[in-house]
Every structure is written in structure tokens, then in C-alpha cells.
Chain A
Amino acid sequence: MSTAFSKRQKAGQRLVNVAAGAALLYIFIPIFVIVLFSFNEPKGKYNIKWQNFTLDNWANPFIEKELTSALWVSLRIALIATIVSTILGTLIAMSLSRYKFKASGAVNLFLVLPLTAPEIVLGSSLATLFLNRSVGFGYVTIIIAHVMFQISFVAVTVRARIRGFDWTLEQAAQDLGATPSRAFWKVTFPLILPGIMAAALLSFALSVDDFIITFFNAGSLVTFPLQIFGASRVKISPQINVLASMLLFASVALMAGAMILGRRRERRHSGTLSK
């Protein structure tokens, strides 16, 4: 039976492979371009046309003062916003995954709403609220805005990661004489920590990269994306590409590290189990 279809089947399979390969290529072409143009020596103000290969940009990645300080602003905001949102979001996730209670369906829907609302609506409406209350725009307003969209994200991500977590482990620890708080910190927390860390990392990345919501709530404060947006009208310097490449390599290293660490941990655990 299989021979009758095998030729067409194989052609179909090959088609899927080619399409998947092409899609991956499509995903990576702009990334190659970003890295490539970080080695460009542009004539004029726009780093758009390839001219000459140079290492100057990488030798002086922080020469553009405004760009560098904008990056620091972004990292600082992301750090604070991520800490706050990870705590609040994780609490929500634990509530939803651990307990059965009234209104959990409504809470679920309410959590998804900020994720499905267009960013421009979130940004402009929050800015309207701040305008109404004459709150000065700056660090505080940006952090508030970032925490707002990160909470849902963290809650949903952590909930997905700890779905199927065996909460009776905590009960077991308590049966063996641990206090509830000790049982939580010694048993539950270490087990759900990887999920929380993953959510925190992703939401950190979301914060650093957020443009639309920040644009409305920044006032005169300039974050990294805002600096790029503002600069793109006047000048696109190759340092932008250098810093972007650095961010890329850092996150790749981080992800690879997390993957390897996770695998090693898995192996260790399965090792102890098989003994």
C-alpha cells in the first residue's frame, strides 16, 4: 500500500522540508543583516547601503553617548519592572493553578484581556489616566506601564509551566513535620523556580524591547527603543547594530545556558531515580 503513494508522499515531504527551511532562512536574513551592518562603514548618516568592512564600530560600541545612556535607562527600568511583575504574576499563577475557587474563570479572562488588547490602546489609555491626574511622565510611569503588561504575561507563563505540579508534595513535607512555610520554601519553591525564572527572563526581554506603550508614557525620558525611533529620522549609526547584536548574543547565550542547565538537571534527576 505504501508503495502506491510513496512517490507523491515523498514529494510532499520534501515540499514541507523545503518550506520549513525557507521559513527559517526568512526568519534569519534580517538578523544576518543586522550583524553584517554592524561591521559597515557607512558614508553619510544612514547605515543602509553596504560600503566597507570595518571593526571600528565594535571597537567603540559605546561611542554614541545618547544611545548608550538610553540602553542603561531601558535595562534599569526592565530590572525593576521585572522584579515587581514577577512577584505579582507568580502569586496570581499560584492562586490559579493550586486552588479551585469561585470566579477563577472570570479571573482567567481578565488576565488574558491585557494580552489581547492592542498595545496602542493600552499605551494611550494609560497616558490619558496620567494626564488626567497630572502625573509627571518619567521612570515611574514607564515602570507602571511595563509592570501592567508583564503581570498577565508572567501569570500566564508561570501557570503554564507549573500546570500538573504535584501539590501533594508540600502536604507530604508537612506530614513529615515541616511547617507550612518551610514546606513551601524547601519543596515547592525550588521546583517551580525554573518556570518563574523563564517567565522573568522573557518579561525582562519584553520590557527592554517595548516601544509602543513606552512611547506614550515616557515623557522626555528616552529608552533604547525610543532612542532608535527618534534617531531613525536623522541618523542611523552602525553602533545601533553593534548594541543590537550584543543584546542578541547575550540572550542567545542566556537561552543556551538555561537549556544546558535544564538538561543537566534532568539527567541528574533521572540518574538518581534509576538508582
Chain B
Amino acid sequence: MTSVVSAGKKWGATLSSRPENVGLGVMLGLGLGAVALAAQWVKGPSSLLVAIAMLTMVVGLIYTAFAGGLEARKSLAPYGLLKPGMIWLCLFFLAPLWSMVVMSLSSKAGRFDFFPDFTWNFENYRIALTKFRPQFIRSFSYAGIATILTVVIGYPLAYFIAFRGGKYRNVLLGLVVVPFFTSYLIRTLAWNNILADEGPVVSLINTLHLTGVFETLDIMQNGKLMNTPAAVIGGLTYNFLPFMVLPIYVSLEKIDVRLVDAAMDLYSSASQAFRKVVLPLSLPGLFAGSLLVFIPAAGDFVNAQFLGNPQTTMIGNSIQDQFLRQLNYPVASAMSFVLMIIITIIVLIYTKFMGTEDLA
């Protein structure tokens, strides 16, 4: 409510002189009001008050736009264009996060109560962090390994397309992206065909008598490729590979080839030129790609479901199971929140150094 009052005060002072403040204020006010209503910060009659306050803001905004003339409308325009989308995100992205936090601190009053009530119940977090610790660790280590593998596989490909693609660059980029227009689940199931016990890969390994080697490398278990950690990590690597290739390509493409020539003219070897010129300049893409691979991989449960076994479940599987099967919303929400906090910290560290540009 205080924000509404202060926004109201702001109007009085700046209505005529600073229309952009009105635009910004109304945007924040409407966003805040939307979150308050959707996340039930206010209930009953006071929610009506909030709704009226929001309506007043809209009326005030329209008044400012009409009274202020062309200049005022021009400085209101950017906020006007932002508002519909921003309010949608407030309602269905921000407010849900709040609901999730509330839910993660709730508990059911009795065994047969369907819906939990808010009780500051931190027990949910204890369960999330102890009982489901293996799943958390597995998620982050699988996602980490998958990220490294996408760099190993994706970097040469991006390099090739950027520097040797010539006029076929766009076609090659298209080839990288096109397979990912088939359904995600079907792509993952296809690995089921490839890695199956009677499938081509296993029989090839068997005929070459390499089963022992793969087992010591911990890629195979009991002569099987399917339902192993390796299969899950392989699936993650495959499914999120384009998220690595595209950002690396974008940053490689920007590199002026003459810089490499200059390095060579100054007697650096090809590998030195790569290490000292190309690689540092492609780091923004590499970091952005790592983020874009790591995040969905850490939250994924499809690969573990289709390609793994009960010992390879990731945190996504547990959240999904607790939420949709056990209907244990509080613990599921606590796990989601922990996952989100960890990821958000990583993202914030990243954006502090790299900004948000490369993530697009």
C-alpha cells in the first residue's frame, strides 16, 4: 500500500514536469499490484482497494498522456509498450515464485488435509537438503559434465562454421538447429534405440571386445549402456548442444581474422594465436553457452527418466514426483526454491561480469 501512496505523491509533484516518472511509477505500481493480487498478499476487501488503486493509476496515466501533449506522450511511450508484457510476467512469473516460497514453508494440518497452510515450517527445507541431497549433487555433477562435453563437441563445430563455413555458414547453422525441431522427448527416446542392449553400439563394443574398457571407464554397467549415468549425461549433452554451439559461433564470428594474421606475422604459432587471440575473444560465447546448457540440464528430468535408472534420478525427477505424484507440494516447492536460488546466484555472478547481452 505504501508504494501506492508514494506513487500518488509522485504524480502530484511531477505530473506536468516529468511524465517519464509517471510512466515508470505506474509501471512499477501496476506490476506490484498485479503481484499483490495474484500472490494473495492482500485478501478480501483490501484486494478491492488495490484494484481501485491500480485503476486510478491507469486513469492518471491516461490523463497525463492527454494533458501533456506530444512530448509527454513520447516520454510515456517506452513504458506503455512495456506494460502489457511486464504485467503478464509479474502475474505469471513473479507472483508464482512468491507462492512457491509460501508453499515451501507450509504444512498440512492433518493427514487427510488436502491443502497445506503457511506455518513457517522449515522442516521442508531440511527434508529437501538431507533426503534429496544425492539428487541435488547428481543434478549439478551431471549438468557440469554435460556442459564440459558440449564445449568439447561444440567448440570445434562452431569454430569450423565461423572460420571455414564460407558462404555455407547459414546452411551449416541451420543443420545444427534443424534436428532440434523434432520433439525433445522423441529425440531422447531415439537414444533408447541407439544405446539399447541389442542395439548397434552395444553390439559394436561387444564385437570389438571393448566391454571391459568401457566398464572400467564407468560408461557401461553390467554390459549395458542403457540405464546408466553415462546414458543420462549423454542425453543431456545431446539435447542441449545447440545452446553451446550458437553463442560460441556468435562470438567467433565477430572476431576480425586480421587479428589472427597479425599474431602470425609477429611469429606466433597457429596454436599460440588460437590460445592468445581467438580463445579469449570467444570466452563470452563460451560462458553464455555454459550457462545456457548448465541451467536446463540441472533442472531436467526427461533424460534421467528415459535413459537412466532409479539410481540416476536428478532433482527434477524428485520435484516432479513429490509435486505431481505424492502431492507433497511443500517439499517439492522447497526443492524448487533451493534449485532456483543456486541457479540465480550463478546467473547473477555471470551477469555482473558479462551483462545480459550474450544470453540472447
Contact = CB atoms under 8 A, between A and B. Distances in A.
A192 interface: no
A151 B87 CA distance: 11
Nearest to A127: B323
Given A125-B100, A209-B184, A240-B186, A120 B301 contact: yes
B163 to A, nearest CB: 9
B96 A101 contact: no
A151 B160 contact: no
A144 B178 CA distance: 27
A31 B320 CA distance: 28
Contacts of B320: 120, 215-216
B89 A148 contact: yes
Interface stretch (A11-19, A55-63, A165-173): A11-19
A229 B183 CA distance: 11
A115 B84 CA distance: 18
B46 interface: no
B51 interface: no
Contact of B77 (A47, A99, A241): A99
A177 to B, nearest CB: 17
B16 interface: no
A27 to B, nearest CB: 6
Given A16-B159, A20-B157, A116-B295, A145 B92 contact: yes
Given A124-B333, A124-B336, A116 B185 contact: no
A54 interface: no
Contacts of A33: 190, 193-194
Interface in B115-134: 115
Contacts of B144: none
Contact of B89 (A17, A30, A152, A159): A152
A132 B118 CA distance: 12
Contacts of B99: 125, 128-129, 132
A93 to B, nearest CB: 9
Nearest to B139: A118
B359 A225 contact: no
B78 A125 contact: no
Contacts of A113: 93, 347
B299 interface: yes
A98 interface: yes
Given A30-B190, A48-B193, A211-B302, A225 B174 contact: no
Interface in A139-169: 144-145, 147-148, 151-152, 155-157, 159-160
Nearest to B23: A101
A191 interface: no
Given A34-B186, A48-B199, A121-B299, 5 more contacts: A20-B159, A23-B153, A37-B193, A95-B78, A232-B185
